[in-house]
Amino acid sequence: MQAFQDFYPENVAHCYGCGRLNADGHQIKTFWDGDETVTRFQPKPEHTAIPGFVYGGLLASLIDCHCTGTAAAAMYRAENRAMDSLPAFRFVTGSLQVSYLKPTPLGPQLEIRGRVKEIKGRKVVVEATLYAEGVATARGEVVALQMPDSFTA
Ligand SMILES: CCCCCCCCCCCCCC(=O)SCCNC(=O)CCNC(=O)[C@H](O)C(C)(C)COP(=O)(O)OP(=O)(O)OC[C@H]1O[C@@H](n2cnc3c(N)ncnc32)[C@H](O)[C@@H]1OP(=O)(O)O
């Protein structure tokens, strides 16, 4: 099954968090699961904050790209369009808010689950919860905006 990020056009597929063409990036993969979206990610030892626990910046990055991917997929779904249809929806982060609820253990695979809160014009608000072994350790919300032309290099 193809992930949302597999449909990103080449010119926006280099994001450090989600770009499939960034060999040094996280290359997250996000899928629908009913009305929710899900990403699974295995942190590595270099993602340490305090020994035994995951760096919060990584968690923010995962929530960020999970939510921007969800925003794009939600827009396609709202318009009943396939994700490889043109014109492509491209989203960037307007705001990213993260609450760290508990320390996140380094070792288990993490699961991020997202839900669309609002679609309004060019804006999609997505909330996400990050779980380690079924325990919610971080929660976030992203305001995603359709990418303006100024992002084109
Ligand atoms: C197939 C799929 C393809 C998908 C490709 C995916 C590409 C992957 C890329 C991966 C990316 C990975 C992620 C990355 O790393 S993306 C990189 C980090 N992000 C940026 O650099 C973004 C920089 N900022 C901007 O370019 C502009 O400020 C943006 C585009 C964000 C908004 O400027 P724009 O002129 O467009 O906005 P507007 O004034 O018309 O307002 C419109 C609405 O939005 C609301 N609002 C605006 N700003 C904010 C804010 N900061 N917080 C909360 N809300 C905000 C505003 O209130 C209004 O709402 P409402 O009043 O109507 O309710």
Its ipTM equals 0.91
Is 131's C-beta closer than 6 angstroms to any atom of ligand 1?
no
- Nearest Cα neighbor of 110 from 141, 145, 144, 135 is 135
Minimum CA distance residue for ligand 1 atom 7: 90
Ranges in the chain, pLDDT < 70: 152-153
Domains of the chain: 4-151 (3.10.129.10)
Q: Do 126 and 114 meet the contact criterion of CB atoms below 8 Å apart?
A: yes
> How many whole angstroms from 145 Cα to the centroid of ligand 1?
3
Residue 37: the pLDDT is 98
User: What global pTM score does this model have?
Assistant: 0.95
Residue 153: the pLDDT is 58
Residue 148: the pLDDT is 83
Residue 69: the pLDDT is 97
Is 49's C-beta closer than 6 angstroms to any atom of ligand 1?
no
